[in-house]
Chains A and B, each alone.
Chain A
Amino acid sequence: MAELAQTGLGAGRVGQRRRRSPAPSMLPRRSGLSVAIFLVPPLLLYGVAVLLPIVQSLFLSLFSWDGITDMTFVGLDNYAKMFARDDVFWTAFGNALGYLAICLVLQLGGALAVAALLTALPRARELVKTLYLLPAIISTVAIAFLFQRIYSLDPVGPLNQLLAWVGLDGAQTAWLSNVDTVLAAVSVPEGWRFTGLYMLIVYAALIAVPRELEEAARLDGASWWQTFWRIRFPYIRPVWITTTVMATTFALRGFDIPYLLTNGGPGQSSELLTTYMYKTAFVHTDYGYASAISVFIVVECLVAVGLIYLLLRRRDDS
Chain B
Amino acid sequence: MPITIPKTALGAALTAAALALTSCSGTAGSADPTDIDPEGKIEAREISWLLSRPADGGVITAMEQIAEEYAKDHPGFSLNLITTPDRPSYIQKYETLAAANKLPELFDTDATPFAQKLADQGRMLDVDLLLKDLGLADDYREAALNYQRFDDGELYMVPFEFQLEFFWYNSALLERANVEIPKTLGDFPQLCKDLRAAGVTPIALDGQDQWPLERYLAYYPFRMAGPEYVQDLKNGEAKFADPAGRAAAEWLYELGRAGCFQEDFSSTGYADAQGLFTSGKAAIYNIGTWELANLATDALDPAVRESVDYFTLPTVDGAVTDDNAYVTPSGIGMAVNAQTYDPLVRDFLAYALERYPEVYAATGALSPTTNVETSIPDNATELYAKAVKQADEVGADSAMPWDTQLDPATNTRLQQELTLLVQGDIEPDEFIETMDAALAENSDG
Contacts and interface: CB of A to CB of B under 8 A. Distances in A.
Do A and B originate from a single complex?
A: yes
B266 A255 contact: no
B412 A279 contact: yes
B78 to A, nearest CB: 29
Interface size class of A (residues with CB under 8 A): 35 or more
Given A67-B95, A174-B263, A284-B409, A179 B420 contact: yes
B15 A291 contact: yes
A294 B12 contact: yes
A154 B205 CA distance: 12
Interface stretch (A10-18, A35-43, A46-54, A114-122): A46-54
Contact of B118 (A49, A68, A263): A68
Given A53-B9, A255-B7, A176 B264 contact: yes
Interface string A235-252: 000000000000000111
B302 interface: no
Interface stretch (A23-31, A265-273, A306-314): A265-273
Contacts, number: 162
A176 B267 contact: yes
A178 to B, nearest CB: 8
Interface in B99-138: 99, 114, 117-118, 121
Given A53-B8, A286-B445, A251 B99 contact: no
What is the interface residue range for chain B against chain A? 35 or more
A140 B3 CA distance: 11
B4 A268 contact: no
A203 interface: no
A227 interface: no
Contact of B3 (A66, A86, A253, A281): A253
B409 to A, nearest CB: 4
A266 B425 contact: yes
Contact of B425 (A179, A251, A281): A179
A301 B2 CA distance: 13
Given A66-B117, A255-B3, A282 B263 contact: no
Interface string A53-91: 110110010001111110100000000010001101000
A263 B209 CA distance: 10
Given A179-B423, A255-B4, A262 B412 contact: no
Contact of A174 (B19, B264, B420): B264
A281 B412 CA distance: 12
Contacts of A49: 9
Contact of A265 (B8, B11, B419): B419
A148 interface: yes
Contact of A262 (B10, B267, B423): B267
28 contacts: A50-B5, A50-B9, A57-B8, A66-B117, A67-B18, A67-B95, A67-B96, A140-B1, A151-B267, A176-B266, A176-B267, A177-B263, A177-B264, A179-B420, A179-B423, A179-B425, A250-B2, A252-B4, A253-B5, A263-B208, A264-B416, A265-B419, A266-B423, A280-B409, A283-B88, A283-B92, A283-B408, A286-B445
Top 5 nearest A-B pairs (CB, nearest first) are A174-B264, A67-B99, A253-B4, A176-B267, A53-B12
Given A179-B423, A267-B419, 9 more contacts: A53-B9, A53-B11, A56-B12, A66-B117, A250-B2, A253-B3, A283-B88, A294-B8, A297-B8
